[in-house]
Amino acid sequence: MEVVVKTLALTTVGWSERLEWLWKTLCNEFFYGCHFLSLSASGIVLATMLFLQIPIRWELCILAYLLTQTAYMYNHYREFTEDSQVESKRVQHLRLYGRFFPALVFVYGFTFVSILLVFGSLQ
C-alpha cells in the first residue's frame, strides 16, 4: 500500500524530489536488500583470481553474487516474522516486498543453477 501511495505522490512533485526519492530507494535496496554483501562476495572471488593470477572468469563472480544473494533472501524470508517484531529501517524496507520473498529466492536460485549448468557444460 505504501508503494502505491509513494508512487502516486511522485506525479505531483518536481524532478529534484523524484531524483531524491529514486536515490534513497536505490540506496535502501542496495544496503537492506543485501546487494552490498553479495557484491562483496563477488569482489572476494575477483580478488582471489587476481591474486592467484588465474584468468578472470566473470561467470564465477556472477555465481558468487547469486549464491550469496539467494542465501540472504532465504534468510530474510525465514526470519521475517521474527525481524518484524523490531521496528528498524531494514524491516520497513523489507516489508515493501515481503510477500515476494519466495519468488525472489526462486528467481535467484534458478538463475544461479542455470548459469552454473550453462557455463559448466561449455567447459
Domain that holds residue 110: 33-122
Q: Which three cell numbers stand for residue 47?
A: 580478488
Q: Does some domain include residue 57?
A: yes
What pLDDT sits at residue 1?
Answer: 46
Q: Does some domain include residue 4?
A: no
To the nearest whole number, what is the mean pLDDT of the chain? 84
**Structure confidence by residue, pLDDT tens digits, 42-82:** 999 999 999 999 999 899 999 999 999 999 988 888 887 78
**Total structural domains within the chain:** 1
Alpha helix segments (H runs only) across 10-122? 15-32, 35-51, 58-78, 80-83, 89-95, 101-122
Is residue 107 a contact partner of residue 73, using CB atoms and an 8 Å limit? no
